[in-house]
Amino acid sequence: MLSLPCPFCGQRDETEFLNAGPAKPARPNADVTDSKWVEWLTVPVNTIGYVEEKWWHAKGCGKWFTIKRHTVTHEIKMPDEDGR
């Protein structure tokens, strides 16, 4: 059970949240090629290290937010902690 930093509510247990998978780049424009579209849709980043994830504070304030989670240690940072 992770401990997640909700931007509004602070540090809370994972049971209050729903995971929505990897955070995707912005939705591509309509004029991208089909293969680019499929790539956006289906290819998540899966590294050993930090990945970006979307979480929803479903049993809390309802905020959708992005975190960076280390896939080995589960260390969690907010995306802007390293300049993004």
The residues binding Zn ion (CB under 5 A) are: 6, 8-9, 57, 60-61, 63
Helix (H) / strand (E) containing 70: strand 64-70
* 65: amino acid identity, one letter: F
Closer residue to Zn ion (CB): 17 or 50? 17
Determine how β-strand 76-77 pairs with β-strand 10-13. unpaired
Closer residue to Zn ion (CB): 38 or 78? 78
Closer residue to Zn ion (CB): 37 or 56? 56
Residue 44 DSSP label: -
Give me the least distance between CB of 25 and another protein, in Å please.
12
